[in-house]
A and B are shown apart, each in its own frame.
Chain A
């Protein structure tokens, strides 16, 4: 095996690949799409969770219950004049709910009797649900407060009427949601590695055979290992470029995302960015190796493309697992390719210190697996079925 041959093949495949519009497209366009999508998601979440905005609430018969209305106003409810058709306003989502206060409110209230007020809602509307819940809570809090005062006036401890007090602790904060979205970014970066080199991997293996150039190529006095190493490095170069580009656009996109508003801490320094690149870049070696071996094994160019499209989904698995599983993970995940990189990446995002083991172990593992793939591809290149088809 001569390294000069590897260099010759690498240069040829890169030149060939860069003249192919499809390979350029996949290597350069995907990195721009992914991170931008993430930012859009962030903005969406920020809009959904605009907690501080007062809840607009039209009230019918507000004049009958000035005390209640005053209480609502003090608790972030924007009491409004009722629309002409209250039912229609709720159904169309114009108002999240409409409160109806009956005319006998004052009389019954003074007599310490229960008053029935109606909250008109449309439960089929998702976007108004949280506002309805807030309006309802304020109303219930008012009722509970008045009830407690009445009991106290009669010399009774209000706790007697509330044997069990339920306190709901809502964990689905905007911060949590945003953190989940942040977990998607490593997945995008991994996918970029798999998409960037896809065409070169296919073209230099299955394509080479379909074109009828594989047999002449193999007739040269060059070891198969040198040929495959060259093709591997060419594929990995495009994969790595795509991966780096995705990291850069993700960095730029995140710096423009409303992270602070959502309470997510993700402040990157340049040194952290360098660590991230160092950890993620070797993934390209594994992606390229896997793609070569799979595309060589396929019987045709089209078949290879189909397989590689499916392979692109592989890095999504750990991403999904990370989103579902808690962030704290066992140390053994460090040796699982891709999952290891993601773990280190999350450590960096959380601002934890990165040790030499975390820096080296995942990289060495993907490098070794990549070389195993090269070996397997070189072996396949020696098979008569692979070279001549059939």
Chain B
């Protein structure tokens, strides 16, 4: 369970996040939808302890992200905005490195890598160096790296950015699978289709504030629109920065 209460963050003069509150329970997919620059990435960075909030609070399993950084990081699997790999290491070595930094023993790492690589259908990639991988192949390694420690909470920042149709479909299956295993899944997107197709709960963010939230049905009710896309546009006030 991730609980965010009136988070706030400014970079110099720019107020990146003004006030964001939401709850993301276990076994549900919570989508943060908003145009580019709405403050989604900064919100995720504050939850993942990478950026210190100026105000408000965020908790993961009741642990405050500022006072219990290490415990929070152990519970989180993060697919951040930056998803670089080590090109001279193989896919397996890339994932193993993060497993070791999560204090997993070799057996546990091997077991988990075997499971994830099978799930992501990347057996043929396992022992090739990452240099020269396609976008979709790289993304698989990044996902495996983020999940190797079996996190109870998963946060994905624009997970389908730059992926082709096949990879996007595979990614959606992975996200649903994580939910079905009972994990708390939070992901951000500026693509309305994506959020509509995947989310159990939707948090609509614009200009650093939450402008609407709820299940897809309740969002339509709140805005008095017949379909979800019209509801999003009504909530945000414009469709600028969004994608269908």
Nearest Cβ on chain A to B91's Cβ, whole angstroms: 14
Nearest Cβ on chain B to A270's Cβ, whole angstroms: 38
Is B89 in contact with chain A by the CB < 8 A criterion? yes
Contact residues in B for A5 (Cβ distance below 8 Å) = 101
A217 to B89, CA, bound (A): 15
Report whether A214 and B98 are in contact in the complex, using a CB–CB cutoff of 8 Å.
Answer: no
Is B5 in contact with chain A by the CB < 8 A criterion? no
Nearest Cβ on chain A to B75's Cβ, whole angstroms: 9
Contact residues in A for B93 (Cβ distance below 8 Å) = 12, 15
Contact of B89 among A16, A215, A216 (CB under 8 A): A16
How many A-B residue pairs have C-beta atoms within 8 angstroms? Tell me.
73
Report whether B100 and A8 are in contact in the complex, using a CB–CB cutoff of 8 Å.
Answer: yes
**Which B93-108 residues sit within 8 Å CB-CB of chain A?**
93, 97-98, 100-103
Is B133 in contact with chain A by the CB < 8 A criterion? no
Report whether A15 and B73 are in contact in the complex, using a CB–CB cutoff of 8 Å.
Answer: no
Report whether A212 and B83 are in contact in the complex, using a CB–CB cutoff of 8 Å.
Answer: yes
Nearest CB in chain A to that of B96: its residue:
A12
Instruction: Give the B interface residue count (CB, 8 A).
Output: 32
A212 to B101, CA, bound (A): 18
A388 to B11, CA, bound (A): 12
Contact residues in A for B32 (Cβ distance below 8 Å) = none
Report whether A221 and B80 are in contact in the complex, using a CB–CB cutoff of 8 Å.
Answer: no
Report whether B102 and A221 are in contact in the complex, using a CB–CB cutoff of 8 Å.
Answer: yes
Report whether B49 and A219 are in contact in the complex, using a CB–CB cutoff of 8 Å.
Answer: yes
Nearest CB in chain A to that of B101: its residue:
A220
Nearest CB in chain B to that of A230: its residue:
B101
Report whether B78 and A211 are in contact in the complex, using a CB–CB cutoff of 8 Å.
Answer: no
Known: A221-B70, A221-B73, A221-B74. A215 touches B100 (CB 8 A): no
Contact residues in B for A19 (Cβ distance below 8 Å) = 88-89
Report whether A213 and B84 are in contact in the complex, using a CB–CB cutoff of 8 Å.
Answer: yes
A213 to B71, CA, bound (A): 21
Encode A207-246 as 1/0 by CB contact (under 8 A) with B: 0100111111111111000000000000000000000000
Contact residues in B for A59 (Cβ distance below 8 Å) = none
A19 to B94, CA, bound (A): 14
Report whether B98 and A220 are in contact in the complex, using a CB–CB cutoff of 8 Å.
Answer: yes
A220 to B75, CA, bound (A): 10
Known: A5-B101, A213-B82. A218 touches B50 (CB 8 A): yes
A9 to B145, CA, bound (A): 16
Known: A19-B88, A219-B76, A221-B73. A214 touches B82 (CB 8 A): yes
Is A140 in contact with chain B by the CB < 8 A criterion? no
Contact residues in A for B146 (Cβ distance below 8 Å) = 216
Contact of B84 among A211, A219, A221 (CB under 8 A): A211
A8 to B98, CA, bound (A): 10
A218 to B48, CA, bound (A): 10
Report whether A12 and B84 are in contact in the complex, using a CB–CB cutoff of 8 Å.
Answer: no
Report whether B48 and A219 are in contact in the complex, using a CB–CB cutoff of 8 Å.
Answer: yes
**Which A115-137 residues sit within 8 Å CB-CB of chain B?**
none
Report whether A384 and B73 are in contact in the complex, using a CB–CB cutoff of 8 Å.
Answer: no
Nearest CB in chain A to that of B49: its residue:
A219
Report whether B80 and A216 are in contact in the complex, using a CB–CB cutoff of 8 Å.
Answer: yes
Contact residues in A for B51 (Cβ distance below 8 Å) = 384, 388
Contact residues in B for A211 (Cβ distance below 8 Å) = 84-87
Report whether B86 and A213 are in contact in the complex, using a CB–CB cutoff of 8 Å.
Answer: yes
Is A55 in contact with chain B by the CB < 8 A criterion? no
A20 to B85, CA, bound (A): 15
Contact of B97 among A8, A214, A384 (CB under 8 A): A8
Nearest CB in chain B to that of A19: its residue:
B88
A390 to B97, CA, bound (A): 28
Is A189 in contact with chain B by the CB < 8 A criterion? no
**Which B101-124 residues sit within 8 Å CB-CB of chain A?**
101-103
A8 to B73, CA, bound (A): 18
Is A38 in contact with chain B by the CB < 8 A criterion? no
Nearest Cβ on chain B to A79's Cβ, whole angstroms: 71
A16 to B90, CA, bound (A): 10
Report whether A216 and B78 are in contact in the complex, using a CB–CB cutoff of 8 Å.
Answer: yes
**Which A1-41 residues sit within 8 Å CB-CB of chain B?**
2, 4-5, 8-9, 12, 15-16, 19-20
Q: Which 4 A-B pairs have the closest CB atoms?
A: A212-B84, A212-B82, A213-B84, A211-B84
Chain A residues in the interface with B (C-beta under 8 A): 2, 4-5, 8-9, 12, 15-16, 19-20, 208, 211-222, 384, 387-388, 390
29 A-B pairs (CB sep. < 8 Å): A8-B101, A12-B86, A12-B89, A15-B89, A15-B93, A16-B86, A19-B89, A20-B88, A208-B84, A211-B86, A211-B87, A212-B84, A213-B82, A213-B85, A213-B86, A215-B80, A216-B78, A216-B84, A216-B142, A216-B146, A219-B73, A219-B80, A220-B101, A220-B102, A221-B69, A221-B74, A221-B101, A387-B50, A388-B51
Could you list 16 further interchain pairs (A-B, Cβ under 8 angstroms) beyond the known A12-B93, A216-B83, A219-B78?
A: A12-B97, A16-B86, A19-B88, A211-B85, A211-B86, A213-B82, A213-B85, A215-B82, A216-B80, A216-B98, A217-B101, A219-B73, A221-B74, A221-B102, A221-B103, A384-B51
